[in-house]
Amino acid sequence: MRIAIDARFANLKVGIGRVAYNLTKEILLLDDENYYVILLGENDPFVDIKKDNVKKIKNAFSTRKKLFWQFFYLPYILKKEKIDIFFSTENFIIPPFFKGKTVVTVHDLIPLVFKEYLQGKISPYKLKVYMTKLFPPKKIMTISNFSKEEIKRVLKIAEKDIFVIKESFDNRLKNIKEDINILHHLEIKKPYILGIGGMELRKNNKVLIDAFIDMIENNGELRHSLVIVGQIYSKKIPMDTRDIPENLADRIKMIIEVSDEELSVLYQNADIFVYPTIYEGFGLPPLESFKHKTPVITSNITSIPEVVQDAAILINPYKKEEIEEAMIKIIRSNDLKEQLIKRGTSILRNYNWSKSAEKVIKEFKKIYDQE
């Protein structure tokens, strides 16, 4: 088989980018039989992979001129390279008029569920969804049973046309021992509670801030601070903030962007990781926290319970008092903290990029063998 993989977003340090990087890398490491053409952006994150059955194509304009790339450049490359199967790691990339077979990734249906993301406009996302109707893919890959059910319900896709792989933590995130220099550089002192996702509406960190403020005001002896990583403002995604009391301003810190090394240090040195998200196709951050042996508080809705199982305290993300109560429980109980860490470490055995890559390769073979 000649297989093309769209891995243009493998350099991004967000969920889609982490899937693109880890899954593509494992497929290339495992498969010596098939020939792969890897479509990249400006940089090559797979520079260490040099195999006779792997060809890489860089195209610097691909991530900026998305529709031109999808409608014109992509079909041209697939035809030129005589591709049998095209596999995209990004949401809903369909090459029109491609005569081979397509495997499309659908991570989630967030822009269809959260209308605010589209802001009432006909977006490229809606166009991509329409493309799945106009040029139906052979298979859809998704990342949780929750997302699978959403795809069946919203897009009316048959179950036989969808397969699920599990994500795992990003192999670029290393367990780094306490690094005082990094914490000092970020101007962070222990103890602290960690949140991720900035002030994106869906990540729901406004409720975390509210819960933290109430916790400190109700328990004056606590010396914890709150650190939230991610964008504070965005032109595309609605944000929501709360006025922070002046006496707590120096205990709530926003960090817009961090390196993988800095993120590892932040995870590993946090007392608690809190992830009150209100919609996830999968939800990698809790797994990343498990990897760094930090206890997790997270939402009891969408895909999250499926992912974390019994290894986290599950809360209603709309109720700040549940988040406050869960934080207090962990802070005041070393036994509970150690129990959560032990469970988190244990369930990581269920998540493995190599196993997920094996499943994808098997799906390629099934699809190729079908008439």
- pLDDT, residue 236, reads 47
HSE-up (13 A, CA, CB side) for residue 98: 34
Average pLDDT over residues 65-88: 89
Range 45-53, long-range pairs (CB < 8 A, 24+ positions)? 45/7, 45/10, 45/11, 45/21, 46/7, 46/10, 49/25
Give the pairing of strands 313-315 and 296-299: parallel
Ranges 18-27, 60-69, 127-136, most confident: 18-27
CB atoms within 10 A of CB 15: 19
Tell me: the pLDDT tens digits for 107-133? 998 888 776 665 555 566 677 777 787
Domains and CATH numbers, the chain: 2-168+352-369 (3.40.50.2000), 180-350 (3.40.50.2000)
State the average pLDDT over residues 213-231. 94
Peptide bond into 191 cis (omega under 30): yes
Q: pLDDT value at position 334? A: 96
**CB contact at 8 A, 142 and 162:** yes
Phi, psi of 139 (to 5 degrees): -145, 155
pLDDT of residue 235: 46
Q: In terms of DSSP bridges, do strands 139-142 and 101-105 run parallel, antiparallel, or are they unpaired?
A: parallel
Q: What is the pLDDT of residue 362?
A: 97
Residue 292: CA count within 13 A, CB half-sphere:
32
Q: Taking residues 66-81, what's their average pLDDT? A: 87
Instruction: Check residue 311 and give its pLDDT.
Output: 98
Mean pLDDT of 62-79: 79
Q: Residue 238: which pLDDT band, with cuts at 50, 70 and 90?
A: very low
What is the torsion angle, in degrees rounded to the nearest 10, for the CA atoms of residue 155, residue 68, residue 237 and residue 261? 100
Per the structure block, which two tokens stand in for 148?
């699978």
pLDDT of residue 41: 86
